[in-house]
Amino acid sequence: MKAFCLAISLFVAFLINAQNFIHENSVFECDQAFVIELPLQEQKDPTVFYQYEEQFSFWYRLNANTEESVEITLSPIDGGDHYTVLAFEFDEGDFCQQVFSQKTKPKKIQLLENGEQYIKFRLNTKAGKSYFLCVLNTSFSNCGHELSIRNSLSTLKVKAIHIPCVVPIEEEKKEEPEKLEWGKNSLISFVQLLDQNNKESHVKAEIIIKDPQTKTAVKIDFNRSQKHPLRIEKGKSYLVTCIAPGYKRFEHQLIISDYLKADSSDFDIFLEPLQRGDKFLMSHIYFHPNTYALKREAQKELNYLVNFLENNPDLRIELAGHTNGNNKIRRNKAYKNRAEQWNFKGSSKNLSILRAEEIKRRLEKKRIKEDRISTVGHGGDFMLIQDARTLEAIEKNVRVEVKIY
């Protein structure tokens, strides 16, 4: 409720149009503001993602190391959204508490009026000072915004995306074929995946072979029913990675030509099976945001898991769903004409359970017996990365783990 009160006090205190404010709880986290160092450093323009709790106010902290004038521009991602930007200069003490108790006042207040496409203003900074920008949502919707900071030498653009609103439904993409580079000493090898215990080739998995020098790589969707030719260079070292459901991760730097069989040119990769009680991560199982609808690229790894279960009929598994935080999730109107998996409404914990059950349902369709699969949902109780703000970090939290019994 603190953030809710803060937003109300900011609107009332500064005569911002309050009737459009959405009356729901929010989390006031100005002490976790997105930090930008001034003068601007050469870097990639970042994209940050924020959750339901931050939909009313998103904070930036600008640490000024020199005296300069910067131009700040804010534009909504969705033209129907409206925002107000409040700029504060910070000296010392507990800034968040000072704002909450209205003991500090903003240096600037900039409103995005109806029909306007962006907010633009200049901020004159002093060396050693910090400046906070509060981006307040003043409309019923909130898809996110772009913040641009420009000085005389450089420009930084930050895209802040509200996940439930703007993450699109991806179309299936055809991956461009990849290949390694080779020279005059190239030769052909044939890749084999083998179970370390029984030396049989019944594993299905993706193998990635990367040349650290040229940064080129090739991916092999390994299937025991096919021979997989691989062109390599004699004497060259490659990074070989394989992640197979039910097996320990294989990742080694190898001179592949030194491991070829003389009579067949086979390159054998031996995978160590996991034991009862071990866990592994389904590393390519992705869901559309705030739904339990699987993305298309998850199908390949599901097939790998089916293959593992078919070849180990005495084993059972537990599927554990995890989400990025414990949030109250609203139904996304963009998905209203889609199946029920797309139209979830409720708690993160319930969503994590439904995600685990969706994978179980897919496995059962592949004729894996129901009594071999149990499910559990942990919501955001066991996040790998707290306060995740990049897509990569969020995807690490939104995961499905498998325990073998």
pLDDT given for residue 176 in this prediction: 47
Q: Which CATH architecture has domain 2-165?
A: Sandwich (2.60)
Q: Note the CATH number of domain 279-404.
A: 3.30.1330.60
pLDDT given for residue 355 in this prediction: 95
pLDDT digits (tens, 9 = 90+) for 353-399: 999 999 999 999 999 999 999 999 999 999 988 877 666 777 788 88
pLDDT digits (tens, 9 = 90+) for 86-110: 899 887 778 877 777 777 888 888 8
DSSP annotation of 275 reads -
Name the token pair of 364: 């059962």
**H or E segment to which residue 303 belongs:** helix 299-311
pLDDT given for residue 331 in this prediction: 80
Which pLDDT band, with edges at 50, 70 and 90, does 24 fall under?
very low
- Residue pair 16/138 in contact (Cβ under 8 Å)? The answer is yes
pLDDT given for residue 29 in this prediction: 60
Name the token pair of 229: 């030719």
pLDDT given for residue 47 in this prediction: 82
**Rounded CA separation 110/335 (Å):** 34
Inter-CA distances, 68 with 87, 124, 128, 150, Å: 16, 6, 12, 11
| Residue 55 CB partners (closer than 8 Å, separation 6+) | 22, 26, 137, 142, 162
- Residue pair 232/254 in contact (Cβ under 8 Å)? The answer is no
- Longest pairwise C-alpha distance within the chain: 83
pLDDT digits (tens, 9 = 90+) for 245-277: 889 889 999 999 999 988 888 899 999 988 899
In whole numbers, what is the pLDDT of the chain averaged over residues? 81
Indicate whether 64 pLDDT > 50: yes
**Rounded CA separation 297/304 (Å):** 12
Where do the domains of the chain lie?
Answer: 2-165, 186-271, 279-404
Query: CA 154, 82, 342, 325 torsion: positive or negative?
Result: positive
When the candidates are 2.40.37.10, 2.60.40.10, 3.20.20.10, 2.60.40.3470, the CATH number that belongs to 186-271 is 2.60.40.10
Three-state secondary-structure class, residue 370: helix
Fold: same for 186-271 and 279-404: no
**Rounded CA separation 332/290 (Å):** 8
For the chain, the first-to-last Cα distance in angstroms comes to: 44
Find the mean pLDDT for residues 79-85.
81
Torsion, Cα 342 347 349 355, to 10 degrees, reads: 0
Bond prior to 229 in cis (omega within 30° of 0): no
**Rounded CA separation 225/29 (Å):** 54
pLDDT digits (tens, 9 = 90+) for 274-326: 889 999 988 788 888 788 999 888 888 898 899 889 988 999 999 999 988 88
Find the mean pLDDT for residues 159-167.
65
Name the token pair of 310: 């078919």
Three-state secondary-structure class, residue 380: coil
**Rounded CA separation 276/316 (Å):** 9
Indicate whether 115 pLDDT > 70: no
What is the rounded radius of gyration, in angstroms, for the C-alpha atoms of the chain?
26
**Rounded CA separation 316/340 (Å):** 28
